[in-house]
C-alpha cells in the first residue's frame, strides 16, 4: 500500500516536471470568462445558458486545459499558442500546418455558426473558444518559437525558480491572491469608445497587437534574473489589461454568434 502511494506520488511529480505550464492559470481564464459574461447581450446569454446547461463562462473557461492530458484531444494542443519572429506579422509568418491559436479560434467560430453542428460539438467548441480567446491574450502565447514562448526562459520569482512564461500565465496573478470575481469586479470600466475600438479587427490583427506586447515582455527581464514586487508594479497593469481585453473580445465574438 505504502509502495503504491509512493509510486503514484512519483508519477504525479514526474508529470509536473515534464509538462510546461502552458496557459493562463485557472484564475486568469475565469476572470476573462466573468468579464465576458458581463458584456453578453440578453439573447446571447440565453442561448449560451442552454448550450452550457447553466454553467458560467468562468466555469467552463479552463476546459481547454482539462482535456490536454487526454490523448483523444492531442490535436488541439497546438491551438493554444502561436509563435513567430518579431518584426513580421502573423499573415507573413510560416504557419504550423497542425494549426495555432489564430486558426483554432477561427475554426471554433466557423463550427459554432454552422446550423448543422450537433449539440455535443456546440458545447465542446464553445468551451474551447472561451479558453482559446483567453490564451491568445497572454502575451507569451504569441511569442517566439526558440524558447517555447518563454517556457525555457528561466527566472526567479520571490526566490523560487520559474520561467517567464509561467510568470505571465499564473505567478504574477497568484501573488495577488485574489479570486477571479475580485479581479473581474475590480476592473475600472473604460469608455464605450475604448471598448468599441478594442472590439474591432480580425483575430490575426489581435495576434499582431499582442505580439508587440510579447516583444516588450521579452525585454522586461534577463535570464536568471531575480524578480519580485518591482516587476509586479511595472507589469501587473498589463496583465489586468490583457484579461479585460480578452473578456470584451470574447463577448463580442459570442454576441456575433448568439446575439
Counting residues that bind Zn ion (by CB under 5 A) gives 6
Q: In Å, how far from its chain's centre is CA 196?
A: 21
Does 22 contact Zn ion by CB under 5 A?
yes
User: Of the candidates 35, 44, 61, 80, which one interacts with Zn ion according to CB under 5 A?
Assistant: 80
User: Contact residues for ligand ADE (CB under 6 A)?
Assistant: 20, 22, 80-81, 83, 140-141, 143, 148-149, 151
Nearer to Zn ion (CB atom), residue 40 or residue 105: 105
Quote the least distance from Cβ 215 to ligand ADE, whole Å: 13
DSSP for the chain, please give it: -HHHHHHHHHHHHHHHHHS---S--HHHHHHHHHHHHHT--HHHHHHHHHHTTT--HHHHTTHHHHTTTSGGGGGGGGGG-----TTS-TTTSPPPTT--HHHHHHHHHHHHH-TT--HHHHHHHHHHHHHHHHHHTSGGGGS-TTTTTTTT-EEEETTEEEEHHHIIIIIHHHHHT--HHHHHHTPPP--HHHHHHHH-S-HHHHHHHHHHHHHHHHHT--TT-EE-HHHHHHHHHHHHHHHHHHHHHHHHHHHHHH-
Nearer to ligand ADE (CB atom), residue 20 or residue 238: 20
Does 23 contact Zn ion by CB under 5 A?
yes
Quote the least distance from Cβ 165 to Zn ion, whole Å: 6
Nearer to Zn ion (CB atom), residue 76 or residue 244: 76
Contacting residues for 133 by C-beta, under 8 A, at least 6 apart: 32, 105, 246, 249, 250, 253
Nearer to ligand ADE (CB atom), residue 37 or residue 138: 138
Alpha carbon distance 193, 191 (integer Å): 5
Element (H, E) at 162: strand 160-163
Quote the least distance from Cβ 29 to ligand ADE, whole Å: 14
Quote the least distance from Cβ 66 to Zn ion, whole Å: 10
Q: Choose the one of ligand ADE, Zn ion, none that binds residue 47, judging by a C-beta under 5 to 8 angstroms depending on kind.
A: none
Q: Choose the one of ligand ADE, Zn ion, none that binds residue 143, judging by a C-beta under 5 to 8 angstroms depending on kind.
A: ligand ADE
Quote the least distance from Cβ 257 to ligand ADE, whole Å: 26
Nearer to ligand ADE (CB atom), residue 22 or residue 134: 22
Q: Choose the one of ligand ADE, Zn ion, none that binds residue 169, judging by a C-beta under 5 to 8 angstroms depending on kind.
A: Zn ion
Does 100 contact Zn ion by CB under 5 A?
no
Nearer to Zn ion (CB atom), residue 44 or residue 108: 108
Positions touching Zn ion (CB under 5 A) are 22-23, 64, 80, 135, 169
Amino acid at each position: 500500500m505504502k509502495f503504491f502511494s509512493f509510486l503514484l506520488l512519483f508519477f504525479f511529480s514526474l508529470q509536473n516536471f515534464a509538462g510546461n505550464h502552458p496557459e493562463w492559470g485557472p484564475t486568469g481564464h475565469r476572470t476573462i470568462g466573468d468579464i465576458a459574461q458581463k458584456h453578453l447581450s440578453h439573447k446571447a446569454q440565453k442561448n449560451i445558458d442552454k448550450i452550457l446547461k447553466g454553467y458560467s463562462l468562468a466555469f467552463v473557461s479552463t476546459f481547454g486545459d482539462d482535456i490536454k492530458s487526454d490523448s483523444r484531444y492531442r490535436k488541439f494542443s497546438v491551438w493554444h499558442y502561436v509563435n513567430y519572429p518579431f518584426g513580421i506579422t502573423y499573415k507573413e509568418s510560416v504557419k504550423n500546418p497542425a494549426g495555432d491559436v489564430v486558426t483554432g479560434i477561427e475554426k471554433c467560430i466557423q463550427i459554432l455558426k454552422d446550423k448543422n453542428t450537433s449539440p455535443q460539438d456546440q458545447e465542446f467548441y464553445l468551451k474551447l473558444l472561451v479558453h482559446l480567446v483567453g490564451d491568445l491574450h497572454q502575451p507569451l502565447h504569441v511569442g517566439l518559437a526558440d524558447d517555447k514562448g518563454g517556457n525555457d526562459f528561466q527566472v526567479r520569482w520571490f526566490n523560487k525558480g520559474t520561467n517567464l512564461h509561467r510568470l505571465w500565465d499564473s505567478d504574477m496573478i497568484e501573488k495577488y491572491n485574489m479570486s477571479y470575481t475580485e479581479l473581474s469586479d475590480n476592473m475600472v470600466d473604460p469608455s464605450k469608445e475604448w471598448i468599441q475600438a478594442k472590439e474591432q479587427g480580425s483575430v490575426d490583427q489581435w495576434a499582431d497587437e499582442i505580439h508587440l506586447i510579447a516583444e516588450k515582455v521579452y525585454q522586461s527581464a534577463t535570464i536568471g534574473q531575480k524578480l519580485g514586487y518591482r516587476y509586479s508594479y511595472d507589469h501587473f497593469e498589463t496583465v489586468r489589461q490583457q484579461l479585460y481585453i480578452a473578456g470584451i473580445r470574447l463577448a463580442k465574438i459570442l454576441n456575433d454568434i448568439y446575439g
